[in-house]
C-alpha cells in the first residue's frame, strides 16, 4: 500500500515489476528483486538515490553507511500479518515453518531489535506508520509522511491511493 501511495503521489519508485499483481496484492508489489539480495550485492543503490525502494526490515542492517536513508517503517497488527501470510501460503500450496505463536514472538523480538538498531544509525531517519491508522485517517498519515520526506508530493493522490477494501485480514480473523 505505501509504495503504491508514494508512486501515486509523485515519488519516484525503484521497482523492476518482476512480481506481477495477484490475488494477494491486486495492485502489484512494487518490489526490486536486487533489493532482496542487498547483503550480497548493493551495486544498485546509486540508482535508488531520491527514490522509494521497498525493503523488508531484516535487510535494513545491510544498507551501507555511505548513504543516508529515510525509512517509512510500516507497523501492522501481528495477527493480521500472520493471517495474511497463511492465506498467501495456502494459495501457493506452501507451508510456513513454526506455529503462529512462535513465529509471532520471533517477529516481535525482531521488530524491537530493528527499532533499537535504527536509533543507533546516524545515517537513518525513521517514521513509524501504523497500517490501520493509514486506513482510518489517510489524510493525517499521508501528510505526516510527506512532511517526513520533505517532498512536495501530491497529498490528494497519496490519500486516494489508500484503499481500505484491500485489507482483507483483520486482527482476530483466521485467513479466508
| 172 pLDDT higher than 60 | no
**Which tens digit of pLDDT belongs to each residue from 53-65?**
999 999 999 999 9
Q: What torsion, rounded to 10 degrees, do the Cα atoms 165, 169, 170, 173 define?
A: 140
Mean pLDDT computed over 73-91: 73
> Alpha helices of 92-167 — where are they, by DSSP H?
100-119, 131-136, 138-149, 155-160
Judged by average pLDDT, the poorest of 57-61, 95-99, 121-125 is 95-99
| 87 pLDDT higher than 70 | no
pTM of the model: 0.83
Under 8 Å between Cβ of 75 and 130: yes
Q: Write down the pLDDT at residue 168.
A: 47
Closest CA to 47 of 2, 16, 71, 10: 16
**Which tens digit of pLDDT belongs to each residue from 20-38?**
777 766 677 789 999 999 9
Q: Write down the pLDDT at residue 67.
A: 96
Under DSSP, is residue 127 helix (H, G, I), strand (E, B) or coil?
Answer: strand
| 52 pLDDT higher than 60 | yes
Amino acid at each position: 500500500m505505501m509504495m503504491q501511495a508514494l508512486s501515486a503521489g509523485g515519488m519516484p519508485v525503484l521497482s523492476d515489476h518482476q512480481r506481477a499483481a495477484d490475488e494477494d496484492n491486486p495492485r502489484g508489489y512494487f518490489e526490486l528483486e536486487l533489493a532482496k539480495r542487498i547483503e550480497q550485492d548493493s551495486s544498485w543503490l546509486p540508482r535508488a538515490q531520491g527514490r522509494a525502494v521497498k525493503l523488508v526490515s531484516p535487510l535494513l542492517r545491510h544498507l551501507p553507511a555511505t548513504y543516508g536513508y529515510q525509512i517509512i517503517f510500516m507497523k501492522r497488527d501481528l495477527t493480521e500479518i500472520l493471517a495474511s501470510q497463511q492465506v498467501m501460503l495456502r494459495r501457493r500450496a506452501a507451508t510456513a515453518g513454526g506455529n503462529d505463536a512462535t513465529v509471532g514472538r520471533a517477529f516481535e523480538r525482531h521488530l524491537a531489535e530493528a527499532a533499537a538498531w535504527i536509533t543507533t544509525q546516524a545515517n537513518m531517519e525513521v517514521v513509524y506508520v501504523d497500517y490501520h491508522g493509514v486506513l482510518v485517517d489517510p489524510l493525517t498519515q499521508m501528510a505526516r509522511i510527506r512532511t517526513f520526506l520533505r517532498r512536495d508530493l501530491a497529498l490528494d493522490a497519496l490519500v486516494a491511493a489508500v484503499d481500505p477494501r484491500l485489507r482483507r485480514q483483520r486482527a482476530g480473523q483466521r485467513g479466508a
